[in-house]
Amino acid sequence: MAEFGEDGSLPPLNHEDTAAVPGDEAAGKTHCEVLNGDCGILENMIGSGSLVAPCSQGVVETVELDSKCEIPRRSSIIKDGSRQRKERKKTVSFSSMPTEKKISSASDCISAMVDGSELKKVRPNSRIYHRYFLLDADMQSLRWEPSKKESEKAKIDVKSIKEVWTGKNTDTFRTNGTYDQISEDCAFSIIFGENYESLDLVANTADVANIWVTGLRYLISYGKHTLNMIESSQNHMRSSWLGELFEEADGNNRKQITICAAVQLVKKLNPGLKNVKIELKFKELHKAKDKVGSHVTKEEFIEVFHDLCTRPEIYFLFVQFSSNKEFLDTKDLMIFLEAEQGMAQVSEDTSLEVIQKYEPSKEGQLKGWLSLDGFTNYLMSPECHIFDPEQKTVCQDMNQPLSHYYINSSHNTYLIEDQFRGPSDVTGYIRALKMGCRSVELDVWDGPDNEPVIYTGHTMTSQIVFRSVIDVINKYAFVASEFPLILCLENHCSLKQQRVMFQHLKKILGDKITLDPPKPEDCYLPSPSELKGKILLKGKKLSTNCTASEGEVTDEDEGAEMSQRMSIESTEEQTIPPKKFQLSKDLSDLVTLCKSVEFKDFPTSFQSQKHWELCSFNEVFASRCASDFPGDFVNYNKKFLARVYPSPMRIDSSNMNPQDFWKCGCQIVAMNYQTPGLMMDLNIGWFRQNGNCGYVLRPAIMREQVSYFSANTKDSVPGVSPQLLHIKIISGQNFPKPKGSGAKGDIVDPYVYVEIHGIPADCAEQRTKTVNQNGDNPLFDESFEFQINLPELAMVRFVVLDDDYIGDEFIGQYTIPFECLQPGFRHIPLQSLTGEVLPHTWLFVHVAITNRRGGGKPHKRGLSVRKGKRSREYASMRVLLIKAVDDVFKTAMLPLREATDYRENVQNAIASFKELCGLSAVANLKQCILALSPRLMGPDNSPLLVFNLTDHYPTLEPQGLLPEVLKKVITTYDMVIQTSKSLLENSEVVYERILQTQKAAMEFHENLHDLAVKEGLKGRKLHKAVESFTWNITILKGQADLLKHARSEVQENLKQIHYAALTCNLSKERVVSGSTESKSRRSLEAIPEKAMAEEELTDEDN
């Protein structure tokens, strides 16, 4: 094991040394430490020339899960005040150490396997053995040592290997007591023999696992001819393409170019590389060849490009889908696009379009082949960004009332620094409006020369002329969005200057200002669509019976509140008496749909507040409302607009967490745009959706008149199905050094945080290991899983930090709404602290979303467990103690149970089928059929099982005698079809029964209060009855929606089975017509996350 120095650093690895295995020499045994996400910290033994056999006594090792890690700890915090300083374990990735050879071809994998690796061999009942595995030089056998067996028995013949599964997807893994501590990305299983036995292994790093999986799959495909095949199919497309580029640069045909020209050429092809790194690579190559001079040959140029620009993680993915060729044909690419990237209606023409667009070589374009470089280009293109392109335009219903949307809002928009001493500038408005802000603030005071000015009163902030701000607003109001802009007018002017304000507003903004009075018969505000291109003024308004040219109103003065708060020495809460001031009727008449009123309490508002009246909440008071009256706050915001502004104590213009108020339904959460950090990242990220138009439709459960939702819920939301988000952080590219770092040099030790922001039940975070001294192309290969209870309000934030920081650790971040995530392999463009895109700086990830949790032991797996009818949790109805209403709700009990059974039965059947295919919970049924297809082929490459696609429900039909393993396939697949058929044929009736109950119950809604009083309910019991009614209605709506969604999912599943059978040439029609291809497709697997349950595979001890 690599020893740590006193400062926690690692000495360079020396692969010439004897590879020793860590052990407790005194005890004569080795402790196998298995850490989740760490893949162990044993030295990577690939490439070592000699061997000291580990665990030479052959003793069964006990996994010590409570043993203390000797890795040093280091404190680290995000520099925005939002994260408390806490100890974090610093772990080390050997996969990206500078001294290691980069694996970038199949021959590299085979060579590494011949050299051998230490792998952990997993057995049932928590037993794990350290063994040294290697491939015989003749590539006929896979051996391991030491072993109690004779040397000829401690091996597997390569020709007996059927498949290689990635992840923890066998029964041995799932029943092992250390399942949760074994890294998903380091685990793989070799399936061999006629009975499909499994050899279950865990590598020390995900890189090593990828090497073995890739090499073994090549061996399965090509056997002893593997090396010949690899040699004959070396990447000619890359060589010819690079050769042409080199010859263009070598205009004089001297067969060489200068190092400077070569560096620029590589830089042009990969702009993220640093010039000094490219130049150093050329010089190292010359030094190795004892070459003198400053010129580069074509072969040297190609070699350096290969070393610097081949990304191993993309290569491993590439060969997984290329049927172990050096290119993807149109069929391979079609499967990748459809099965993995979730692209709909894909054809081979679609594949050709991608190839023509991204393949750099002429040969590839002519033949319809996508090379590794073309595949890399595609994965780094905007098509593979993580953000859903549909959300880049307005895609939500914009015809709902204004109160049903979150509105992008700014506080003290005129400030460009802090709110006590900072300067004011019109650029604050320009920046906010260009970013899609739809609510800006104008704090207006009397100015010199009868010209009103804008600044924060009672402070030392500078002043800007009101007229110039209105000019800027007129110019930029609808540049980023056509939807209404709200001007929050905080008026402190004399009547004389109020008349000047009115003249400027009328003259400059003209008919953009909404002057139509609200309609008394309406219950809600107009929609954003109805108010396109309009400006709404929010401010004080005189009563309708005022006939004079002015009148008295209550002053709104946030600045005075801040000034008084700062002067209060004691911590006791003091009330600030409201001030009165004279308001011009002309200015009052400009305020129509957003009249400012004071909030008293929720009962008063529910009884007397008009829908065009708007209350502003101080952050502290709003937090108290959210804590004490979470349900009332949500219900209040269904009808009325609520504006929340930062606490006056935030004199540094720091930001509150907008999620704290979005979860209550508050529409206008005013942010200090001039202050970057986590909170502003959340605001910018949130409003990126819906075309960045500044309006985001709130979740349905927060809009519907009768629905139950508590802002502080720490559990699942009634009527909403939780989603499981599976994220694999694969690698990074070109991480810069933190801007504020005081350390010398450009070396960074990056690690990644994945944060979930949303309702309290969803908030979570996970971090990767630290990759030591590699910011250029660090490999993380770590998977995380998060349960999202309210997907419509959740956000995902990726943060990259430096573990070796001095002064500043922040490298980059990207924040995205959950609903905007694209599944599949995606690149994330990282942004700086101030929101600018960092050039050529990326995270490479895999995203999958499912509705079931994977992983864990069968008897202890939370959501993943296949619950029988007795142990299932069914949706429950609450008792109101109002007999007539309770009797109606009782009629829903049976259909609710049936709906749950239909859904669970389908999910359980699909879970079993995925396990049988060796895939994890994130896989879809198309991937299952593709993975299963090699198993369905006989020795003569004719199918043993075919799909009969003539019926709506595809059936599996045997083509002769079947081995036991295929009989189990038929049984499991039949259960998928039977449960799917049962759901499709019965769900409509159940759905209608649930809706009938809901409709019948809603007839009591108007008179519910009177009915409760008649039953003798009052006070708390009355309130509880009303709450239970909304709960029950929410449950009925939610369960009906879930059943409707399950129906759509089943129909999509049947389509996937149909298309996959055609793709794999396993349809009965094609087989009968003699069009079956002679060569079956390779197994195609998604990068796995967590497996779901058990699969019966036999195993031999040791």
CA 647: distance to chain centroid? Answer: 32
Select the more confidently predicted residue: 604 or 747: 604
In this structure, of 31-40, 235-244, 396-405, the range with the lowest mean pLDDT score is 31-40
Distance CA 847, CA 839 (A): 23
Residue 98 pLDDT greater than 70, yes or no? no
Q: Is the alpha carbon torsion for 255, 259, 261, 265 positive or negative?
A: positive
Q: What confidence score (pLDDT) does residue 230 get?
A: 65
Q: Is the model's pLDDT at 781 over the cut of 60? A: yes
CB 488 within 8 A of CB 591: no
For the cut 80, the answer to whether the pLDDT of residue 148 exceeds it is no
CA distance 756 to 849: 14
Q: What is the mean pLDDT of residues 546-555?
A: 84
Mean pLDDT of 253-277: 93
The model's confidence at residue 922, banded by pLDDT at 50, 70 and 90, is confident
Q: Is the peptide bond before 146 cis (omega within 30 degrees of 0)?
A: yes
Whether residue 871 is predicted with pLDDT greater than 50 in this model: the reply is yes
Would you report the helix, strand and coil content of the chain in percent, each value rounded to 5? 35, 20, 45
Name residue 798's beta-bridge partners: 754, 814
Calculate Rg over the CA atoms of the chain: 33
CA distances from 149 to 118, 146, 158 (A): 18, 9, 19
* Both tokens assigned to 1072: 């009968």
- Tell me what the mean pLDDT of segment 624-630 comes to: 92
Q: Of residues 438 and 70, which shows the higher confidence score?
A: 438
Greatest Cα pair distance in the chain = 107
pLDDT at 797: 97
Letter for the amino acid at 671?
A: M
Could you count the other beta carbons within 10 Å of the beta carbon of residue 132?
A: 21
Whether 965 has a pLDDT exceeding 90, the answer reads: no
Q: Which residue has the higher pLDDT, 607 or 146?
A: 607
Among the residue ranges 108-112, 713-717, 775-779, 994-998, the one predicted with the least confidence is 713-717
Cα 381-387-388 angle, rounded to 5 deg: 100
For residue 716, pLDDT over 90 is answered with: no
Residue 1050 has what pLDDT?
95
* Residue 322's pLDDT band (cuts 50, 70, 90): confident
Look over the chain and give the mean of its residue pLDDT values, rounded to a whole number: 82
Question: CB burial class (10 A; 0-12, 13-18, 19+) of residue 707?
Answer: buried
Alpha-carbon gap, residue 19 to 52, rounded angstroms = 6
Q: How far apart are CA 389 and CA 451, in angstroms?
A: 46
Alpha helices (H) along 121-235: 171-175, 206-222, 226-232
501/583 Cα distance (integer angstroms): 12
% the chain with pLDDT above 70: 81
Q: At 610, give phi and psi (nearest 5°).
A: -90, 155
Asked if pLDDT for residue 137 goes beyond 90, the answer is no
| Total residues found in the chain within this entry | 1102
Beta bridge partners of 826: 845
Mean pLDDT, residues 153-163 = 89
- The pLDDT of residue 225 is 66
CB contact set of 171 (below 8 Å; sequence gap of 6+): 198, 1094, 1095, 1096, 1097
Chain CA centroid to CA 21, Å: 38
Which H or E run includes 175?
Answer: helix 171-175
DSSP 855-921: -SBTTB-GGGS---TTT-----PPP-S-HHHHHHHHTTHHHHHHHHHHHHHHHHHHHHHHHHTT--T
Write the Ramachandran bin of 960: left for phi over 0, alpha for psi from -120 to 50, otherwise beta. Answer: left
pLDDT at 26: 36
Low-confidence winner among 53-62, 814-823, 1058-1067 (lowest mean pLDDT): 53-62
pLDDT (mean) for 306-322: 91
List the one residue out of 1093, 1046, 1043 whose CA is nearest residue 867. Answer: 1093
pLDDT band for position 81 (cuts 50, 70, 90): very low
Give the rounded distance of the alpha carbon of 840 from its chain centre.
20
Strands (E), 414-456: 439-445, 453-454
pLDDT at 95 over 50: no
Task: Tell me the C-alpha to C-alpha distance, in Å, between residue 610 and each of 486, 606, 1006.
Answer: 18, 9, 20
**Geometric angle at alpha carbon 403, from 402 and 405, rounded to 5°:** 75
What angle in degrees, to the nearest 10, is found between the helix axes of 236-249 and 259-269?
Answer: 130
CA distance 578 to 574: 13
Q: What is the dihedral of CA 390, 391, 393, 398, to 10 degrees?
A: 110
Q: In this predicted model, what pLDDT tens digit does every residue of 657-693 receive, in sequence order?
A: 999 999 999 999 999 998 999 999 999 999 999 999 9
Range name among 117-131, 230-244, 931-945, 996-1010 with the lowest pLDDT average: 230-244
How many other CB atoms are found less than 10 A from the CB of residue 871?
8
Q: Which of residues 309 and 717 earns the better pLDDT score? A: 309
CB 611 within 8 A of CB 571: no
Report the number of secondary-structure helices (H) and strands (E) in the chain.
30, 35
Under the banding of pLDDT at 50, 70 and 90, the label for residue 635 is very high
**φ/ψ of residue 566, rounded to 5:** -70, -30
Which has the higher per-residue pLDDT, 895 or 859?
895
Cα–Cα distance for residue pair 554/580, rounded to 1 Å:
4
pTM of the model: 0.82
Pair 163, 1083: CB distance under 8 Å: yes
Instruction: End-to-end CA distance of the chain: give it in Å, rounded.
Output: 24
pLDDT band (50, 70, 90) for residue 740 = confident
pLDDT tens digits for range 21-49: 333 333 333 333 333 333 333 333 333 33
List CB contacts of 444: < 8 A, sequence separation 6 or more.
452, 453, 454, 466, 489, 490, 491, 492, 493, 501
Average the pLDDT over each of 622-631, 688-697, 921-930 and give the range with the smallest value.
921-930
For residue 677, the number of C-alpha atoms closer than 13 Å in the C-beta half-sphere is 19
Q: Are 195 and 1096 in contact (CB under 8 A)?
A: no
Predicted pLDDT of residue 224: 64
Look at 680 and 561; give whichever has higher pLDDT: 680
Phi and psi at residue 1082, in whole multiples of 5°?
A: -70, 160
CA-wise closest residue to 618 among 630, 626, 610: 626
- Sorted by sequence, the CB contacts under 8 Å of residue 940 that are 6+ apart come out as none
User: Is residue 768's pLDDT more than 50?
Assistant: yes
Instruction: Give the sign of the dihedral formed by CA 357, CA 359, CA 365, CA 371.
Output: negative
Do 1021 and 1027 touch, CB atoms closer than 8 A? no
Which of 212-226, 909-923, 1062-1076 comes out lowest in average pLDDT? 1062-1076
Cα angle for residues 354, 360, 365 (degrees, 5° grid): 60
Say yes or no to pLDDT of 1043 above 90: yes
User: Residue 426: pLDDT above 60?
Assistant: yes
Who's near 407: CB < 8 A, 6+ residues apart? 438, 439, 486, 667, 668, 694, 695
